[in-house]
Amino acid sequence: MPKNVRIKAKPAEGSGPTSGRAVSRRAPELAQSAIAFFNDYGASQVSLTKLSSHLKMTRGHLQYHFATNNDLYTALFELLDKDIRDVVSYRPPADSIEAIVQHQIQIQDCLWRHRYFFRDLDFLVHADRAIFNGYARLHEWVAGELVALAAHSHTALKIHIVYPEQLYGVAAENLWLMWTSRIRWEAISKGKKEMRGAKLDAFLRRLVADTFTFLAPFAPTAVRSGLLQSLDVGLSNLERAESRTKK
């Protein structure tokens, strides 16, 4: 055997959508630094050559970790999958509205960090069908988890749900579709501008407020105003939405 041929580590059993493909140890770390690059350029514009110069390494070196573009997409999807599962399965203290709002902001933050994925999903799925299967599984998992999260937050939110029980899943799926669709829309219209600090925070709060309207009819007045206070969005936000519609 030639000296410079390295044997890649065996993948863990059933890891992600492409189990069976070799994954190097540094791959997740590299994928992490590639996310911003994908957000800026769009998945269809990223090549291993461009990415390698961005990461200040040779193309060959990068190819040791990701043999093809599809390996890179898969590694990125696995990161997204893990991040979303981590943040959504977290349970904030059940009696604090502030904690619940913070948690919602973290979820939006996580989606926004991976915005290229929702924007370029069509391209990614064309490249590798397995990504869609993974995404569909994630979609289902999130819907189930959101029902559990709503039940958990019941003490603080005192939400009185009027749906028949079989519609809980539908409502949770609605919420997920609204989140991702809004993220996609925002990423299309202003994805290239990197937001930081207070601006990013205000933007994420607006996203939470927009989707929160979905829960509002179920919550008592005091809870609603408490939620809006911690979101710190007043009428100005709604006026903006009104003017957007009237245009």
Neighbours of 18 (CB within 10 A): 21
> Does residue number 170 form part of the binding site for another protein (CB under 8 A)?
yes
Report the residue number, 153 or 211, with the smaller CB distance to another protein.
211
> Does residue number 207 form part of the binding site for another protein (CB under 8 A)?
no
> Does residue number 184 form part of the binding site for another protein (CB under 8 A)?
yes
Residue from 15, 19, 44, 89 touching another protein (CB under 8 A): that is 44
Rounded distance between C-alpha atoms, residue 35 and residue 41, angstroms:
10
> Does residue number 181 form part of the binding site for another protein (CB under 8 A)?
yes
- Among residue numbers 122 through 151, which ones bind another protein (CB under 8 A)? 122-123, 125-126, 132, 136, 139
Rounded distance between C-alpha atoms, residue 130 and residue 80, angstroms:
14
Q: What angle (nearest 5°) sits at the alpha carbon of residue 63, between those of residues 60 and 65?
A: 125
Q: How far is the CB of 114 from another protein (least distance, A)?
A: 15
Rounded distance between C-alpha atoms, residue 186 and residue 42, angstroms:
14
Report the residue number, 85 or 182, with the smaller CB distance to another protein.
182
Number of H helices, E strands in the chain: 13, 0
HSE toward the beta carbon, residue 21, CA cutoff 13 A:
18
Q: Identify which range of 1-9, 60-68, 72-80, 168-176 contacts another protein by CB under 8 A.
A: 168-176
> Does residue number 223 form part of the binding site for another protein (CB under 8 A)?
no
Q: Catalogue the long-range contacts made by 23-30 (C-beta closer than 8 Å, 24 or more residues apart).
A: 23/75, 24/64, 24/65, 26/65, 27/65, 27/66, 27/71, 27/75, 28/75, 28/78, 28/79, 30/55, 30/62, 30/65, 30/66, 30/75
Residue from 76, 142, 187, 208 touching another protein (CB under 8 A): that is 187
Q: Identify which range of 71-79, 90-98, 144-152, 186-194 contacts another protein by CB under 8 A.
A: 186-194
Rounded distance between C-alpha atoms, residue 69 and residue 141, angstroms:
27
> Does residue number 4 form part of the binding site for another protein (CB under 8 A)?
no
Closest C-alpha to 207, from 120, 121, 139, 107: 107
Residue from 5, 7, 162, 198 touching another protein (CB under 8 A): that is 162
Residue from 9, 36, 151, 177 touching another protein (CB under 8 A): that is 177
Residues that bind another protein (CB under 8 A): 42-44, 119-123, 125-126, 132, 136, 139, 162-163, 167, 170-171, 173-174, 177-178, 180-182, 184-185, 187-189, 192, 209-214, 216-218, 221, 224, 228, 233, 238, 241-242, 244-247
